[in-house]
A and B are shown apart, each in its own frame.
Chain A
C-alpha cells in the first residue's frame, strides 16, 4: 500500500494518520479536511472554552507530526471505489490505495432554511457563541442532552438568563433516570428554567429569535442555541455503494472493504447494543487506531474492544463514566453520597455490562474502568 488518503481532519482523522505512521506506514499520506484549522478538541468547546477570558486556548492540541500532505478548507464530494478516487469540491481527484473515512457529523438543526439559531460544533461556532454571550442576551437552549446542558450551564455562568427546552428530563437519554434527577436538580439550583416541551421550529423575528413548541406556544429570546443531535456526513458517499440504509456500517475492525475503513462520528459500528454510532472523543480515538491497523494488516489487526468513556461538566457537577449508558435503576454507592454532591457509583446489570460513574469525585480513570468491568468469577 503506497498511498493512503484520510478524509476528515478531526480527532479521528488525526489519530488515523498518527496510528498509520506509528505502525510503520512510510508511504504517501494525504489528509483532506473541510475545516481550515489543525485538529482541535471539540469536547472543550462547550466546557472550558465557553468560560475562558481573553483568547480561547482550551481546545488547542499539539501540532500534528504525521507529515501528511494536508488539503485543508476543502470538502470531499464523491468517492469512486472502483477507480480508487476521492473527488473534492475544488474539482480535483485524489487517488488512493487505502482510504480512511473520518468525515464526522454536523449539528441537526431546528430551523429549516435560513439558520435562526446557533449550534456548537466547530471552532467558529464557539467563537460566535462567545461573542454573542458577551452582551448577556436572554437565551433559549433547545435540547436536554449533554451538549445542550453544558451550553446552558456556560450561558448561566456568563450571566445570562437561560431557559432550556427539552421534551424529556434533561440527560435522561445519556445517563438514565437516577443521574438525570441529580443533574436536573443541580441545574435548577443554578438558576436554569426548564420548559418540558418539544420544540418544532425556530425563526428570526425583528432581531429576536423565536422557538415554536409542539403545543402551539412560542418562546422568545435574544439568542437561541440548539443542541438536538448530530447528522453523520455521508452524503458525499451516496454514489459509492458503501452505505447500508444510509449508514456507514463498519465491521469489528472499522472496515467497509479491505481497502476502505471508517472511524469516528461518521461510522456506525457493531456494539453489544446493536449497530450504532458512538460520537464521543475516546470512541473516535479507539476506532481510528483499530481502523488504521486493519487497513495495513487486515484480519491480523485486533478487533475494537470499546469500553465507552464519557464525561461532562455542568452546573458545578463533573461526571466521568466508564461503560455503556444510559443506566436503569438505582446504583450501588461505592463511596461518598450523591446527595452530598460527591460519589462513586456502580451499576451492575445482570448482562455483565457494568458501568462505573464518578460524580464530583476524583479517581484514576483506569481504576474507574476496572470498577466498571466486573472481575471474572474465580475458576
Chain B
C-alpha cells in the first residue's frame, strides 16, 4: 500500500503529521513531506493520517 499526496489540495494543517509523525512531516516552509511512501508496516498510522485531513489531500492505494 502506498500513500499519495494531492499537493494542490494540501493546506498545511499538519494534522496528518500529528497522527503519523513516523511517516510524514511539514518542512520549515509548511510543505508536507512524505518520509515513507510504502506504508504496509504502518498501515493503521497511515489510515489515521489520511482520515484526519479536512481537505482529503492524502490517499492510500
A contact residues vs B (CB 8 Å cutoff): 14-15, 18, 22, 41, 43-44, 48, 58-62, 65, 281-282, 285, 309, 311, 318, 320, 362-369
Contact = CB atoms under 8 A, between A and B. Distances in A.
B13 A320 contact: yes
A366 B18 contact: yes
A155 to B, nearest CB: 21
Interface of B: 9, 11-15, 17-18, 21, 25-31, 44, 47-48, 50-52, 54-56, 59-60
B9 to A, nearest CB: 8
A282 B15 CA distance: 8
Given A41-B54, A65-B47, A285-B52, 8 more contacts: A18-B48, A61-B56, A62-B51, A62-B56, A62-B59, A363-B30, A364-B27, A365-B13
Nearest to A313: B11
Contact of A44 (B15, B28, B55, B59): B55
29 contacts: A18-B51, A22-B48, A41-B54, A58-B9, A58-B55, A58-B56, A61-B51, A61-B56, A281-B54, A282-B52, A285-B51, A311-B13, A318-B11, A362-B30, A362-B31, A363-B26, A364-B14, A364-B17, A364-B25, A364-B26, A364-B28, A364-B30, A365-B12, A365-B14, A365-B18, A366-B21, A366-B26, A367-B26, A368-B14
Contact of B51 (A14, A48, A309, A363): A14
Contacts of B29: 362
A35 B44 CA distance: 27
- Which one of B12, B17, B18, B59 has the greatest number of beta carbons of chain A within 10 Å? B12
Contacts of B54: 41, 43-44, 281
A362 B10 CA distance: 12
Contacts of B18: 365-366, 369
A253 to B, nearest CB: 19
A356 B59 CA distance: 29
A61 B57 CA distance: 9
Contacts of B31: 362
A364 B25 CA distance: 8
Nearest to A58: B55
A68 B18 CA distance: 26
- Which one of B17, B26, B50 has the greatest number of beta carbons of chain A within 10 Å? B26
Nearest to B45: A22
A41 B47 contact: no
Nearest to A369: B18
Nearest to B44: A22
B57 to A, nearest CB: 10
Nearest to A365: B14
Contact of B47 (A18, A281, A311, A318): A18
A311 B15 CA distance: 12
